[in-house]
Amino acid sequence: MTRTCLQFAFGCLILLSACSPGKRALVKGYSSFSNGDYNVAIGQYQLAADRGVQAAEANYGIAEAYRLSNRLDEAMPYYENAIEMGIPDTSAVFFYALSLKQNSKYKEAKAELEEYLSMSEDTTMEYTKRARQEVENLNNLNKILSKNNYFETKNLDSVNSDAAEYAPLVQKGVFYFTSSRGTDKIYKATGTGFTSIFQAPIEDNQVQIDQVSKLGPAFTTEDINEGCLTFSPDGKTMVFAKGNSGKRKGARDVNLYISHLQKGNWTAPGLMTISDPNAWNSTPAFSRDGKTLYFASNRDGGYGGIDLYSAHVDSRGRWGEVRNMGAKINTAGNEMFPYVTDDGKLYFSSDGHPSMGALDIFVATRQDGDIAIENLGPPVNSTGDDFGISFTTIKDGYFTSNRKGGRGDDDLYAFVNNDPNLKTVNYFVAGITVTQEDETGKEKILDGVNVRLVYPEGKTTINTEETDTEGDFKFAVQGGTNYEIIGEKEGYFTTRIPFSTIGKTIPQEELVDMVTDTTFNTKLVLNKIVLDKAIVLENIYYDFDQSYITDAAAVELDKLVNIMKDNPQISIELGSHTDAQGDNDYNQALSQRRAESAVQYLIDSGVSPSRITAKGYGEQQLIIKNAVNDEQHQVNRRTEFKVIQINKSQASKGSE
């Protein structure tokens, strides 16, 4: 129930609460609802409704309590009652439509959504936006229902219980899952037990459920919900969700905690700084290289209810750079339970993308810089909540569903994908960072370089890492995609080079193994910034006796534009040199015009005039003083730049 409606009911009845059991029940229902004790509130509201006290508000309260405790399918008749009784809150119609959808009443759901949209005047409202999206989703539902795939699913009867089991994960021969089994402590929001993380060994591909145990005292608190967990690829870092005590002074929201494996033991879990203390933060999942953590959060600034976010770890093990994963992934609905497979695909659950009912499982793939979202369809998805997928190999794994026919609340399911075209390729780009020795000009390894993989123009950073003592870096990439690789280190020019997998992908029919790893090698050269050291710009040629910029020269000057934009801390002198042919004064004037023409090109390309000085040298600084042929004259006819000032306060603004 909306807070306004409930507050109104509470205010009207507080003075009368002693007069009637029904009225007292309604007031208690509001109080429990306000505290998040939704399951308790349901019983109190039901008593009020049974006594005929504010029946519309009571039914709406029951419906909202079911919705907010993740039982939207059970809310349907109560929304219907509240609407028929004249509840004034129009959002009742919206949520009634969603509950109809979750009960497979698609035609009725669409009609209610259209009714809601006809009632709503504010098209910027969150529910209105989502209602429009839901109508579109329902129009596309047949594509999902008729989807032909090769999945087979099976309920894990040996593991599931009458309680809830969800978020399955296999790590180094151990089966992990979260469950509310085996506890007498009741979480008042749902009326079920508090959840803990459990583990059981796997032998001969079977979960040995008779050996199941809780994760350990450091990770289990009797009256706190512990949720999903994830492990880094090397198995040395664990991240899990914890919170929701249901107490006024307890952890009302869920946050992420981290633990490290040291000398065979896990360290005491610590709160991760990427958690927003004012929001729900949960369902973590590591990337394949362990340098990115994906998670779900309803923090401010998102696209809807719960969004997916990413965070990155730096060379010191500190997590930060939290970023929303964008509008292609996130919707006005809820996105959660991310999981990245060995072939680089992102799986997640959503009720905002076109789904069969509530949460469905989707897969996101990137190609040519764009993201495609696909619903896995039945039998993986159902009209219930389907979520928490994980893989043991590229073709099989586990997921969670509360679909009809299960053993308890949320149940664990196994799946296998028998698609004959499932073979896939993992593409990587690996390289080293080097610099040139001043004395010999030979290359040597440069460590401690911050290397970033970005899409062209550097608009979106995909991944970042710092090179080790060997200068190594390695990134996972997608086939058929253009990238740029940027290297940054204080005291050196920021360098970017293009990299592309377009035309380099392996045809499906040539694949032999289920998973094939292919690595492309490259090298990133960073030059040291030295004041007043001349650097020749190759291939900057001018037509005879002319100073305008040719097309060929523009290509080379564009490289200098990128250098200036990537290195905002430097100011340069751009110098032009002629050969010794012709009159000295004329050559001096010509070189000045050419330098000024090149400088103007940089300014027109967005470089600040205050950072560039034009200097014509004429024939004053010949490289070959007694040139006798055109090749030697061409060596003398050159354009150079040199750094004349370094403003360190501007260094951090480069490569944005």
Each residue of 519-555: pLDDT tens digit?
999 999 998 888 888 887 876 766 666 677 777 788 8
Cα separation, 193 vs 165, whole angstroms? 11
Residue, of 341 and 655, whose pLDDT is higher: 341
Residue 200 has pLDDT above 80, yes or no: yes
Nearest of 175, 69, 96 to residue 410 by alpha carbon: 69
What is the CATH code of the structural domain delimited by 424-525?
2.60.40.10
Could you write out the three-class secondary structure of 192-237?
A: EECCEEEEEEEECCEECHHHCEECCHHHCCCCCEEEEEEECCCCCE
Each residue of 435-465: pLDDT tens digit?
988 777 789 999 999 999 998 865 677 888 9
Residue 423 has pLDDT above 60, yes or no: yes
> Rounded to 5 degrees, what are φ and ψ at 476?
-80, 135
> Rounded to 5 degrees, what are φ and ψ at 283?
45, 60
Cα separation, 385 vs 404, whole angstroms? 10
Residue, of 82 and 15, whose pLDDT is higher: 82
Residue 214 has pLDDT above 70, yes or no: yes
**Confidence bin at 121 (pLDDT 50/70/90):** low
pLDDT of residue 407: 84
| Range 234-246 average pLDDT | 84
The crossing angle, in degrees rounded to 10, of helices 91-102 and 55-68 is 50
Residue ranges matching CATH 1.25.40.10 in the chain: 3-145
Residue, of 237 and 634, whose pLDDT is higher: 237
pLDDT of residue 14: 45
pLDDT of residue 261: 92
Longest dimension (CA), the chain: 114
**Domain 151-417 belongs in CATH node 2.120.10.30:** yes
| Range 211-237 average pLDDT | 90
pLDDT of residue 17: 43
108 residue type, one letter: E
Query: Collapsing DSSP states into helix, strand and coil, what is residue 118?
Result: helix
**Confidence bin at 651 (pLDDT 50/70/90):** low
Query: Collapsing DSSP states into helix, strand and coil, what is residue 115?
Result: helix
Burial track 437-464 (b if 16+ CB lie within 10 A, e otherwise): eeeeeeeeebeebbbbbbeeebeebbbb
pLDDT of residue 607: 93
Residue 272 has pLDDT above 60, yes or no: yes
Residue ranges matching CATH 3.30.1330.60 in the chain: 535-653
Polymer length of the chain: 656
Could you write out the three-class secondary structure of 625-641?
A: CCCCCHHHHHHHCEEEE
| Range 403-429 average pLDDT | 89
Query: Collapsing DSSP states into helix, strand and coil, what is residue 508?
Result: helix
pLDDT of residue 252: 52
Burial track 389-419 (b if 16+ CB lie within 10 A, e otherwise): bbbbebbebbbbbbbeebebbbbbbbbebee
Whether the ω angle into residue 379 lies within 30 degrees of 0, i.e. cis, is: yes
Q: Which residue has the tokens 């219907």?
A: 80
Residue 10 has pLDDT above 50, yes or no: no
Each residue of 172-197: pLDDT tens digit?
899 999 999 988 888 877 878 889 99
Each residue of 387-411: pLDDT tens digit?
999 999 888 999 999 998 888 789 9
CB 333 within 8 A of CB 298: no
Nearest of 371, 274, 382 to residue 318 by alpha carbon: 274
pTM: 0.70
What is the CATH code of the structural domain delimited by 3-145?
1.25.40.10
Query: Collapsing DSSP states into helix, strand and coil, what is residue 599?
Result: helix
**Confidence bin at 112 (pLDDT 50/70/90):** very high
| Range 121-141 average pLDDT | 81
Residue 528 DSSP class: B
Burial grade of 147 (CB within 10 A; 0-12, 13-18, 19 or more): middle
Query: Collapsing DSSP states into helix, strand and coil, what is residue 59?
Result: helix
CB 254 within 8 A of CB 242: yes
Each residue of 479-528: pLDDT tens digit?
888 899 999 998 899 998 999 998 888 887 888 888 889 999 999 999 88
The CATH number, out of the four listed (3.30.1330.60, 1.10.287.70, 2.170.190.11, 3.40.50.300), of the domain defined by the range 535-653: 3.30.1330.60
Each residue of 289-302: pLDDT tens digit?
898 999 999 999 99
Each residue of 299-355: pLDDT tens digit?
999 998 899 999 999 878 899 999 999 999 999 889 999 999 987 889 999 998 998
**Confidence bin at 368 (pLDDT 50/70/90):** low
Each residue of 559-596: pLDDT tens digit?
889 889 889 889 999 999 988 888 889 999 999 998 99
Mean pLDDT over the full length of the chain: 87
Residue ranges matching CATH 2.120.10.30 in the chain: 151-417
User: How does DSSP assign 445-496, residue by residue?
Assistant: E--S-EEEEE-GGG-SEEEEEE--TT-EEEEEE-TT-EEEEEEE-TTB--EE
